[in-house]
Amino acid sequence: MIKLETIKSKYLTLKIINKICILKDSHWKFGMLSQKKWFKRNTKNSDMHNLLFYKEILIGYTSLKKRYFYENKIKNNYLLFDTLVINQKYRNFKMANILMDYNNFIIKKFNFCSFLLCDKELIKFYKKYQWKNVKGKIKIFPTNKKFRYKKILTYNVQPNRFDKKSLLINI
């Protein structure tokens, strides 16, 4: 009954995009038009969308976006972990556990490290899934975007890799 699927943006159907926008709007209530505009503006063809279905209902969604960062002036690829949302009716059924384990599996499968930006209140949740705080000096670009996030976490990296290093992260 539960189905997990990863689809690149260029292969998403309009029907799936609408389901994603409806699910996102159930949590971030900006309206469907705004959700569709955001999706079109912020999604690239190579981005991966992890979808959690129960029967035919989309109940969980995460986006993993292939981006790059500079570590001491050396360019590296990474996956930006973006937009984790679970349908409110299914939140007490450990669906976030299933989706987070799947996200971690995909990150490891493609052998990338991953970054996510989050509020302090969510750090404990992500640490349950082996995400770690980044302790280096970090700058995020492009700087024209407004960020309210206070913490950057990473997954699938060697211990202490970014400690005391300068990182420039493209999002």
Assign 3-class secondary structure to the chain. Answer: CEEEEEEEHHHCCHHHHHHHHHHHHHHCCCCHHHHHHHHHHHCCCCCEEEEEEECCEEEEEEEEEEEEEEECCEEEEEEEEEEEEECHHHHHHCHHHHHHHHHHHHHHHCCCEEEEEECHHHHHHHHCCCCEECCCEEEEECCCCCCCCCEEEEECCCCCCCCCCEEEEEC
Digit-by-digit pLDDT tens for the chain (171 residues) are: 899 999 999 999 999 999 999 999 888 888 889 989 999 999 999 999 999 999 999 999 999 999 998 888 889 999 999 989 999 999 889 999 999 999 999 999 999 999 998 888 999 999 999 999 887 777 777 654 555 557 889 999 887 787 766 777 887
- Token pair 């189905």: residue: 3
Q: What is the pLDDT at residue 51?
A: 98
pTM: 0.89
